[in-house]
Structure 1
């Protein structure tokens, strides 16, 4: 029979298929198997609608036959098959999908929606992906209800032939003549059973029908009845037919039928973790968008979680076929630690089925998953606090970053999940728990920033807050102060640093008394300012101190903790992000009295006292001494 030419601009489209549409050559097997699965789906549907009582669903299967010697890979199905006209239409016209037309025809005939039919293919291009690894394709097919069989053959853009042939059973067989190996391409791998098993497991594990292949398996021989105590087990390698795919995914089964051990085993096998997950979220959603999902909260952070190499995302399936290994759009950044899969036939896929088109369905599912994840975290927080604190230790920092990111867009969603160390409880607490314990007279939620909670509770400026019976949140991680600034308030209560002058209400008498003392000691403050120079922005008498002699605070928007953060993150630009340091002195302390006395009697000694108080304030604030050796010499000189 004369060779026919492809319809449309075949050479250009085939070149696009092979070189541009698909990212990885190995994807061809997924496409061919998906087409076979579609063909079996069509047969099952036709047999059901035709009332064929002889139809045996248990015999439906997809068979792989690699032939390394002949350098061919055969994929065989016992699906609906194709007539000569269908071979001409479906394979002779690139980008003509038989599956898509089948869905339209059945929907019209049966009065159902096209989305109610579980058929994957819709673009009519997946078949031609085989040309990425094969230089010739031979398709032999016999249609359901027909006695005729036809063979379609092509070596690519130069066209194809269709000839009659013999085929005993209904279905389709595709023989791919694998290309010779090239310098940079090992095409022979697609003839090895190990590679084929791996690709089936990766892309087609949940195809509804068994994918079978003859493989070599090693077994222990049966122990002879007369074997003695010194018998050593013997093994033999035999060829046997094996089903490569598991067919029914865990997430497709009802929750009531899945044991916790099955959830955990699936997680550990799929994600290579040695530890059971902290929690499992199994979702079966119906409505405007239907999908199933199986999400896991890991018990610990992966080793690369805080590196640029870590990739977030959920595995994405459509009708049992893996479309994407990591779909980042289904997870917000603040929940990037979640592992799992999502399966839906409602996704709008692009032509290669490798990436998604950004659709309303995708956004709806992503929003629903975000709510489900938060709800599960809140449940654990309330019902199993130790488990939640284990989660917090692993991923709490990620939630804090989520509060700050995107200009605080997610703060309302995440604030209920946050934990901070409490001076009163001496353990981690939520903001809701803190506000629930607040005395009626307490106006603010108090916090202190530093590197260690135990040290923060002993800060001199914390004394007056604690003496009121008020609780202080200890902010000990880098994003904490930014988180508090982003939140602004919780349960109607504003946040207030213990370093703020108005942290506690002040009477008019107290204000007047401090103003009087400031005026009386202006010469001391001026002397300290002059002595320390540009080390400080100002020296002032403190409203914050009760029994302590000195502390360091700031003026302006940059706090001491922010200054430390910028020094760590961007040391080259840290000089531009320095806090305006204020040295606060307690006028009622013995140290202040000694400073005043020295000013009147020994100015050099007074300068030493000023330097000493400044250095002590730095140490209390957790800031580095500018010259530790000079500080040591200063202390020693005062001991003489």
Structure 2
């Protein structure tokens, strides 16, 4: 054992302390995953060395046979996982084993409730990694040396998983990392070789480098027919196949193997929702193995997060966050792409503008969309699970991927006046299949909430005529609809924007009644325009309302209410929008106001009607105090008049 020099103590980052506490107290039923995580880390270290050695073969230092080794010392109560991969220097150790350098970490921890079962699932979403060692160990020692460092520059890290860790400089002859686990009393089962072999066979069979365990020497013994079976010396024995799973024929891979591979790639506890394994041949040759998770990763809404698709070239690992291989709106996809056509020394810059990369990205994107389309057709319940989890991310697609806009649109789901439910279950194809004779548009409304959308006054004429309207209430919906103006040759029309033209849905009687109302109410329209002045863009007779006195709508060329709110929430300056004020002449309240001769009093009533309509559309007023004061004044006048 190397003698430590210059030992010093460091405190863990606060988030690490929280995670360690949760590891130790919440993951009783998933203890064995510690080995999956540590072997996976060791394999990654070997992959990284292999990649760097492409440009600097001296990094191998005469030892190019990469492997992971497990050894058990029952007397000492330890398990050691060793690799001869890239290793770490002192700065790497502090960065990788003392902090969690992930954006959104604070948001993740704010979701923790103290409920062990729920928190266990959240930890699985966050990613377990190295700290899973403390599930089974009351002390962990890491001895490591970077492939670029001298033997005198080894580093020893040790901790009991509490508030701090110790760091020391040591001599380490070989590059790579040894992780030594001092197994706790309640985890002694893992000191059994047979148990460890079973876990490796379950989780790490696909690891593309040998995973080895020490096999003790066997003495000479008698065979069944009396012949002598010679003694065998102790030796390192490879216990996995060492063949990358994605290189095997699909027919030879079981569903369980696919699922276990996913758990290693995604660091997830759950099985995937679905997957697709494809070998593409032709001008561009590559293999892809792509998974859709059941649950959202903890940082799903961080668009700058590392993507979940790894890049391999001729089975050599290149990078684990190849954003060029999958569009951002599919950032929940996990898996890998292995290319036969890219150079082994490919860089991010080369990937950025490379026709081979574009071909793989387009092919992988279409494959994921095909998977989702098939799921939506064959298993609506499972697709609804997907939609409830990832639907809002998929809504980013039409803006980002115009080439697949129609296919993405077919996967979208919305609430609807037909379903009369807040659940988003209606597809655009469902809507088109229920369109009335003569209907040539897909009608929708965007609001702050399901209730606000469902109860918006602008829906009244559609209810009267039995025309379905899609109800949208997610923050991203207005952004979505600004990039989705047509589907299956049917224009999408907001019911709160521009002139309402129902086309053939309006019969001749409807049109005649509308023209008569506009003519009879022309003088009152002038009064309202004068009273409201610059507060509105225009005042006109409504064709939308049957039960409400008034509503406001946005002109076709102006920014919609929800888009303005979206931009304001993003901290952007938004120009003030003047609304078109629509009045329902047949409503008793409008008739009452129209009968008021005093122009000053009439103006007060006009302001109240406008504020009410604004409140129904926007959900808030710029000056609610003035509205309340004006309304109180008018109610008192009515009381005095009737006294």
CA distance in 1, matches of 2:441, 2:263: 46
| Cα deviation code 1:285-334 (max 9, x no counterpart) | 33443332221101222121212551115112234321111222111222
Residues 383, 590 of structure 1: CA spacing in aligned structure 2 closer, same or farther, 3 A cutoff? same
Are residue 488 (structure 1) and residue 488 (structure 2) matched? Answer: no
The 8 Å contact of residues 67 and 209 in structure 2, kept in 1 or not, is answered as no
* 1:97-136 pair list within 5 angstroms: 133=147
User: Who is 2:628 aligned against?
Assistant: 632
Partner secondary structure for residue 613 of structure 1: helix
User: Who is 2:524 aligned against?
Assistant: 524
CA distance in 2, matches of 1:429, 1:610: 39
Q: Compute the displacement of 1:637 (Å).
A: 2.8
Partner secondary structure for residue 605 of structure 2: helix
User: Who is 1:415 aligned against?
Assistant: 409
| Cα deviation code 1:236-284 (max 9, x no counterpart) | xxx9735487512222233333333332222223322232221111223
| Cα deviation code 1:402-434 (max 9, x no counterpart) | 21236x444233121111212112352111121
CA distance in 1, matches of 2:245, 2:469: 46
| Cα deviation code 1:331-360 (max 9, x no counterpart) | 122222111012233322327899758544
User: Who is 2:588 aligned against?
Assistant: 590
The 8 Å contact of residues 84 and 177 in structure 2, kept in 1 or not, is answered as no
CA distance in 1, matches of 2:365, 2:562: 32
CA distance in 1, matches of 2:526, 2:171: 85
Q: Compute the displacement of 1:514 (Å).
A: 4.3
Q: Given the alignment, which residue of 165, 171, 174 partners 1:191? A: 174
The 8 Å contact of residues 318 and 344 in structure 1, kept in 2 or not, is answered as yes
User: Who is 1:424 aligned against?
Assistant: 418
User: Who is 2:243 aligned against?
Assistant: 248
The 8 Å contact of residues 193 and 215 in structure 1, kept in 2 or not, is answered as no
CA distance in 1, matches of 2:537, 2:348: 62
Are residue 344 (structure 1) and residue 339 (structure 2) matched? Answer: yes
CA distance in 1, matches of 2:212, 2:269: 30
User: Who is 2:613 aligned against?
Assistant: 617
Residues 356, 197 of structure 1: CA spacing in aligned structure 2 closer, same or farther, 3 A cutoff? farther
Residues 387, 188 of structure 1: CA spacing in aligned structure 2 closer, same or farther, 3 A cutoff? farther
Q: Compute the displacement of 1:381 (Å).
A: 0.7
Provide structure 2 residue ranges, at least 5 long, that are not aligned to the other structure.
1-44, 70-82, 86-144, 156-166, 182-199, 217-233, 637-643
Partner secondary structure for residue 393 of structure 2: helix
| Cα deviation code 1:510-560 (max 9, x no counterpart) | 556545544544443333233333322222211222232111112242222
Are residue 377 (structure 1) and residue 372 (structure 2) matched? Answer: yes
Q: Which has the higher contact order (CA 8 A, sep 6+)?
A: 2
Residues 537, 27 of structure 1: CA spacing in aligned structure 2 closer, same or farther, 3 A cutoff? same
TM-score of the superposed pair, with normalisation by structure 1? 0.63
CA distance in 2, matches of 1:469, 1:596: 31
Partner secondary structure for residue 284 of structure 1: strand
User: Who is 2:455 aligned against?
Assistant: 458
The 8 Å contact of residues 323 and 355 in structure 1, kept in 2 or not, is answered as no
* 1:147-296 pair list within 5 angstroms: 178=151, 180=153, 191=174, 194-195=177-178, 210=210, 241=236, 243=238, 247-296=242-291
Root mean square deviation, CA, Å: 4.2
CA distance in 2, matches of 1:254, 1:437: 44
Partner secondary structure for residue 321 of structure 2: strand
The 8 Å contact of residues 295 and 341 in structure 1, kept in 2 or not, is answered as yes
Residues 354, 193 of structure 1: CA spacing in aligned structure 2 closer, same or farther, 3 A cutoff? farther
The 8 Å contact of residues 66 and 209 in structure 2, kept in 1 or not, is answered as yes
Deviates more, 1:322-331 or 1:189-198: 189-198
Residues 240, 466 of structure 1: CA spacing in aligned structure 2 closer, same or farther, 3 A cutoff? farther
CA distance in 2, matches of 1:29, 1:215: 27
Q: Compute the displacement of 1:482 (Å).
A: 3.8
| Cα deviation code 1:49-96 (max 9, x no counterpart) | xxxxxxxxxxx976799xxxxxxx999xxxxxxxxxxxxxxxxxxxxx
Q: Compute the displacement of 1:382 (Å).
A: 1.0
Q: Compute the displacement of 1:373 (Å).
A: 0.6
Partner secondary structure for residue 579 of structure 1: coil
Residues 613, 27 of structure 1: CA spacing in aligned structure 2 closer, same or farther, 3 A cutoff? same
* Paired residues, number: 461
CA distance in 1, matches of 2:569, 2:152: 55
| Cα deviation code 1:353-388 (max 9, x no counterpart) | 997585443332222211111110001111111221
Residues 596, 340 of structure 1: CA spacing in aligned structure 2 closer, same or farther, 3 A cutoff? same
User: Who is 1:502 aligned against?
Assistant: 500
Residues 34, 588 of structure 1: CA spacing in aligned structure 2 closer, same or farther, 3 A cutoff? same
CA distance in 1, matches of 2:543, 2:452: 21
CA distance in 2, matches of 1:208, 1:535: 69
* 1:302-317 pair list within 5 angstroms: 302-317=297-312
Residues 339, 525 of structure 1: CA spacing in aligned structure 2 closer, same or farther, 3 A cutoff? same
Residues 423, 392 of structure 1: CA spacing in aligned structure 2 closer, same or farther, 3 A cutoff? same
Partner secondary structure for residue 537 of structure 1: strand
CA distance in 2, matches of 1:639, 1:309: 54
User: Who is 1:475 aligned against?
Assistant: 472
CA distance in 2, matches of 1:303, 1:252: 30
Deviates more, 1:295-304 or 1:505-514: 505-514
User: Who is 1:70 aligned against?
Assistant: none
User: Who is 1:540 aligned against?
Assistant: 540
CA distance in 2, matches of 1:455, 1:357: 44
Q: Compute the displacement of 1:479 (Å).
A: 3.3
Residues 410, 372 of structure 1: CA spacing in aligned structure 2 closer, same or farther, 3 A cutoff? closer
The 8 Å contact of residues 350 and 356 in structure 1, kept in 2 or not, is answered as no
CA distance in 2, matches of 1:61, 1:566: 55
CA distance in 2, matches of 1:480, 1:453: 12
Q: Compute the displacement of 1:487 (Å).
A: 2.7
CA distance in 2, matches of 1:62, 1:563: 57
TM-score of the superposed pair, with normalisation by structure 2? 0.62
CA distance in 2, matches of 1:537, 1:214: 82
CA distance in 2, matches of 1:518, 1:479: 37
Residues 567, 215 of structure 1: CA spacing in aligned structure 2 closer, same or farther, 3 A cutoff? farther
Q: Compute the displacement of 1:581 (Å).
A: 0.4
Residues 320, 625 of structure 1: CA spacing in aligned structure 2 closer, same or farther, 3 A cutoff? same
The 8 Å contact of residues 422 and 471 in structure 1, kept in 2 or not, is answered as yes
